[in-house]
Structure 1
Amino acid sequence: MGSRLSEAVILLVEDNPGDIRLIEEAFSDANIGNTLNTVTDGHAARDFIHQRDAYEDAPRPDIILLDLHLPKVDGKDILYEIKHHPELDDVPVIVLTGLNKDLVESRELNDDADEDAILEKPVDLGEFVKVIQSFEQFRVAVMVEC
């Protein structure tokens, strides 16, 4: 029997179907029972976080998993926008990147748009779960087997 905490709303902004599948499998394998919403480009991410157009009824995300290389609107622009919006600037952002160069570039954004964590793809399940659980101000729903 397991115990369950309140669910956090997680927004995954990722354009690679393979990475989306891996992250969904990581959630499933780790028994993370949070609500995972996925958008596949920067324009949809903007609409989701600002609750407009097709995402009018979208919940406010508690955590955002953000790829830096996105079609339509770049992930760096989304990161900047999140961290400079008064209703979103407290939302933790975990930057997902496949290139070491992106890690450096993302850290260079630090003065303008502070990310909360950076994970290099492919995402290691253990590291991924630890990072998500590290945001103690959110009650991340993890099923614990007894």
Structure 2
Amino acid sequence: MERIYHILLVEDNEGDIFLLLEAFEEGSVKTKISIARNGQEALDFLFRRGAFSEVERPDMVLLDINIPIFNGHEVLRQVKADPILKSIPVVVLTTSSNQKDIDLAYDNHCNSYVKKSMNMDDFMDGVKRIQGFWLELSTFSNR
């Protein structure tokens, strides 16, 4: 039986959400995508609070830095500080090429930092490469 990977996409830009969903649908790996549109929703989902108390934990998180309520750095910090959640790979996927954002993301233990391309074809190719590396090549923890 083919595995279905559960990905939490933390993104507030509807255009990027549409493109990411399309890229994963075109990929060779079966995925289930859950969407959080702000940092509070992402943390509630990951910590299974409120309306998210029964959700399945994701295999991977795609995290934008520039999101409302709690920014991506705060979400990343809390996830990687938690003994249960810290093993979930978090790929920062953002428009920011600011070196401070990059350094802070790695200081908070992101697994990868990828800058979104402004060119649609390059954006789609980048997402497919993320999918190929993390879902086809890498092996996840069972914790």
Establish whether TM, by shorter chain, passes 0.5. Answer: yes
Following TM superposition, by how much is the alpha carbon of 1:117 offset from its aligned partner in structure 2, in angstroms? Answer: 1.1
User: Could you tell me which residue of structure 2 aligns to residue 129 of structure 1?
Assistant: 128
Q: TM-score, normalised by structure 1?
A: 0.83
User: Could you tell me which residue of structure 1 aligns to residue 9 of structure 2?
Assistant: 12
Structure 1, gaps ≥5 residues long: 139-146
Taking only the aligned residue pairs, the percentage that are identical comes to: 30
User: Could you tell me which residue of structure 2 aligns to residue 37 of structure 1?
Assistant: 34
Q: Would you say the 8 A contact 2:38–2:70 is kept in 1?
A: yes
- Measured on the aligned residues, the alpha-carbon RMSD in Å equals 1.9
Following TM superposition, by how much is the alpha carbon of 1:31 offset from its aligned partner in structure 2, in angstroms? Answer: 4.1
Residues 28 and 109 of structure 1: CA distance in aligned 2, closer, same or farther (over 3 Å): closer
Distance 1:54 1:117 in 2: 29
- How do 1:95-110 residues align onto structure 2 when only pairs under 5 Å count? 95-101=92-98, 104-110=100-106
Structure 2, gaps ≥5 residues long: none
Following TM superposition, by how much is the alpha carbon of 1:108 offset from its aligned partner in structure 2, in angstroms? Answer: 3.2
Which amino acid in structure 1 is aligned with residue 133 of structure 2? S
Q: TM-score, normalised by structure 2?
A: 0.84
1:96-139 C-alpha deviation (Å, 9 max, x unpaired) = 111211x542323423x11111221136333322223323214x
Aligned length: 134
* Structure (1/2) with the larger helix percentage: 2
Residues 109 and 125 of structure 1: CA distance in aligned 2, closer, same or farther (over 3 Å): closer
Which amino acid in structure 2 is aligned with residue 126 of structure 1? D
User: Could you tell me which residue of structure 1 aligns to residue 62 of structure 2?
Assistant: 65
